[in-house]
Amino acid sequence: MDYQNRPQRQLFDCTELNLTCTECGTAIKELPFEPTKRDDGTYGRIYCQECNRARRKDFGGNRGGFGGGGGQRGRY
C-alpha cells in the first residue's frame, strides 16, 4: 500500500467542548474522530497528539493497521 498518497485524515473541530489532554492538560482543538459523551457525561480519556504518540510508542510502536494488537486482542 502506498501510504504517501493516502488522503489526509479528517479532523473534527472540538474547541467548543473545552477538552484537555488527560496526560498533560493541553487544550485539544482538533481530533481525528468526533467525540461523543459517555453514559457518565464525560468524553472519557482523550490525549493530545504528542501524548498519544508517546502512548503508542509505549505500547509497542506502530501496530500496523486494523487488529494488529500484538497479542493484546480481546483486552479492553
pLDDT in tens, 36-57: 999 999 999 999 999 999 998 8
- DSSP secondary structure of 14-72: -GGGTEE-TTT--EE-EESS-----TTSS------HHHHHHHHHHTTS---STT--SS-
Name the more confident of 66 and 40. 40
Q: Give the pLDDT band (50/70/90) at residue 63.
A: low
- Is the pLDDT at 9 greater than 70? The verdict is yes
**Residues pairing with 30 in the sheet:** 13
Q: Give the pLDDT band (50/70/90) at residue 67.
A: low
Whole-number average pLDDT of the chain: 82
Distance from chain centroid for Cα 2: 23
Cα–Cα distance measured from residue 24 to residue 68, given in angstroms and rounded to the nearest whole number: 27
